[in-house]
Amino acid sequence: MKEYEVFVAGEWVDTTVGFSSIVDPATGNEVSKVPALTAKHVDAAVQAAQQALVESRWSTDAALRADVMLRWANQVASNVDTLAERLTLENGKLLGEAKFEIGHQVNVIRFNAGLARTVSGRSHSLGPDVMGVVVREPMGVVAVISPWNWPITLMVRDLAPALAAGNAVLCKPASQTAGVSVEFLKLLVECEGLPKGIVSMLTGSGRKVGQLMVEHPGIDMIAFTGDGSTGKQISRDAADTVKKIALELGGKSPFVLCADADMEKAIATLVRAIFTTTSGQICTAPSRLLVEASAMQDVCQRLSQAIAGLKIGSGLDPESQMGAITTRDQYEKVLSFIDRGKKEATLVAGGEPVEGVDHDVCNFIAPTIFTDVDPKSPLMQEEIFGPVLTVQPFETDEEAIKLANDTPFGLASAVFTQNLDRAWRLSRGIKAGTVWVNTYNRFYAETEVGGYKESGIGRMAGFEGLNEFTQTKHINFDSTV
Ligand code: NAD
């Protein structure tokens, strides 16, 4: 059990202000205690951030920002194992995935540290005596509000470019994984050169601390990753103070599997992406498999074989191939979708509790597959966020595109085929921010991610990801007499 202090407006705050506890979803044991902050802390953080932007060189000195961020990346690189263990304890994911999650941030932070020195504008000759200079400036004070499923990845995805662009950032991590988030941020706030107040950690519930941030007139931008309904509420609440918002929300991603695909690779990739990676609790999870009808039977058989005998258990056990569902609420939500599926569709695999575990305290759910699902059923239209896959047949590419686009979401997708023309046609037809061809869940610091339709507003990562945290200003010089 670890008790955390958080860094607010340049001061450490401990749990005497009140706290929330974090429970290991694989055992039910309390593992972390984190301060539950109040409006007073939010105000102090905003004020310190505004002051730091005025009094320090942070927003104008790109080399300073790059240096601080490179120091931070080195600190992260030296602490991967300790941070990964805490991440698994709080989230329930496999330790290998946790190490990947932490380790990958070194690359993301270094990429953004490099980008910091590329922020630039342009100039236009607008007449013999007129010059327009367009400068790119930071937004100001940015709130980064993040979820629990990939808590470090999704915090850094906004925090690193926001800092690189010269903003001050107030991080509000998800309560369920706040301990590891605070431990990760400690490595940043202790970096030499970071002006006091530029980064604060605002732990506490979303409804209280999160909402206070969204409504705060001193905050200029909200970068939010999380559930669609929370995102819509944030859009409404942020409208009163006309804040810029970037939203990365849920998904119901289609995996289009053509009969000519390399089936072995396709099935292994799919099982990894919807079941063993974070037990399906990942926004890009390919929860809808669309299979060319002629391959339907073969694919269902292969899938059932691939998941039979998968070892589900504690993320810290090296034998485990799939970890726990992170929260009790999420566990119950997934089970209610499975119950519904059993009534209205055909259960192909799973759907039963995992044997040999105490279901009163441990959140384990077996990989579950349904066919014959009504396309308009919540099973097919809503994000389940767990290890549940629906399978639908298609006859033509046009039908595949229609089915792929038949939900309110448009976050990610995949096309598996060995025919390049088909891959191109299908990729262009699918309305989603990412289409992976013969692969899945490949993320790079260089390439943007984001949602079509109800999956979000704005783009994160890559060059657009940095620009998202800036605004332009036209300075006009007119020396006409
Ligand atoms: P959530 O919306 O419940 O919470 C996300 C964050 O928002 C948390 O820090 C929470 O405390 C805070 N919050 C909650 N209510 C708030 C409010 N009214 N005002 C301000 N902040 C508030 O989401 P979750 O359950 O933590 O995460 C799962 C969801 O996140 C899924 O829907 C998943 O698809 C989505 N997600 C999206 C992406 C993406 O990149 N598109 C990535 C990962 C997760």
What does the H/E/C string look like for 163-188? HHCCCEEEEECCHHHHHHHHHHHHHH
Residue minimizing CA distance to atom 10 of ligand 1 = 206
Element (H, E) at 256: strand 254-257
Q: Is the pTM of this model over 0.75?
A: yes
For residue 18, report the distance from its CA to the centre of ligand 1, in Å. Answer: 23
- Does the CB atom of residue 230 touch ligand 1 within 6 A? yes
Active-site entry in 171, 258, 283, 362:
283
Q: How far apart are CA 478 and CA 475, in angstroms?
A: 10
11 three-class SS: strand
Residue minimizing CA distance to atom 15 of ligand 1 = 206
| Per-residue pLDDT of the chain in tens (481 residues, 90 and over written 9) | 999 999 999 999 999 999 999 999 999 999 999 999 999 999 999 999 999 999 999 999 999 999 999 999 999 999 999 999 999 999 999 999 999 999 999 999 999 999 999 999 999 999 999 999 999 999 999 999 999 999 999 999 999 999 999 999 999 999 999 999 999 999 999 999 999 999 999 999 999 999 999 999 999 999 999 999 999 999 999 999 999 999 999 999 999 999 999 999 999 999 999 999 999 999 999 999 999 999 999 999 999 999 998 999 999 999 999 999 999 999 999 999 999 999 999 999 999 778 777 777 788 999 999 999 999 999 999 999 999 999 999 999 999 999 999 999 999 999 999 999 999 999 999 999 999 999 999 999 999 999 999 999 999 999 999 999 999 999 999 999 8
User: Which residue in 175, 176, 180 sits closest to 153, CA to CA?
Assistant: 180
Residue 177 vs residues 2, 8, 103, 345: alpha-carbon distances, Å? 13, 18, 17, 35
Q: How far apart are CA 431 and CA 154, in angstroms?
A: 23
Residue 171 among the catalytic residues: no
For residue 312, report the distance from its CA to the centre of ligand 1, in Å. Answer: 26
- Look at residue 358 in the predicted model and tell me its pLDDT: 75
- Does the CB atom of residue 465 touch ligand 1 within 6 A? no
* Strand-pair partners of 392: 290
Which residue among 22, 253, 283 has the greatest number of ligand 1 atoms within 8 angstroms of its CB, and so is best to mutate?
Answer: 283
- Does the CB atom of residue 409 touch ligand 1 within 6 A? no
User: Which residue in 101, 108, 64, 122 sits closest to 462, CA to CA?
Assistant: 108
First to last CA, the chain: 73
Q: How far apart are CA 350 and CA 337, in angstroms?
A: 13
- Does the CB atom of residue 250 touch ligand 1 within 6 A? yes
- In sign, the C-alpha dihedral spanning 89, 95, 97, 102 is positive
Q: Residues with Cβ < 8 Å from 186, sequence gap 6 or more?
A: 7
- Look at residue 268 in the predicted model and tell me its pLDDT: 97
Q: Name the E strands within 279-427.
A: 288-292, 346-349, 368-371, 388-394, 414-416
Q: How far apart are CA 421 and CA 435, in angstroms?
A: 15
251 three-class SS: coil
Q: Residues with Cβ < 8 Å from 356, sequence gap 6 or more?
A: none
- Does the CB atom of residue 206 touch ligand 1 within 6 A? yes
For residue 226, report the distance from its CA to the centre of ligand 1, in Å. Answer: 2
* Strand-pair partners of 473: 135
Active-site entry in 248, 383, 454, 468:
248
Angle between helices 62-77 and 151-164 (to 10 degrees): 160
Residue 300 among the catalytic residues: no
How many C-beta atoms lie closer than 10 Å to residue 439's C-beta? 13
Q: Do 412 and 284 contact (CB within 8 A), yes or no?
A: yes
Angle at 480 between CA 475 and CA 481, to 5 degrees: 135
SS (H, E, C) 291-320: EEHHHHHHHHHHHHHHHCCCCECCCCCCCC
- Does the CB atom of residue 393 touch ligand 1 within 6 A? no
- Does the CB atom of residue 279 touch ligand 1 within 6 A? no
- Look at residue 114 in the predicted model and tell me its pLDDT: 98
Dihedrals phi, psi of 356, to nearest 5 degrees: 80, 15
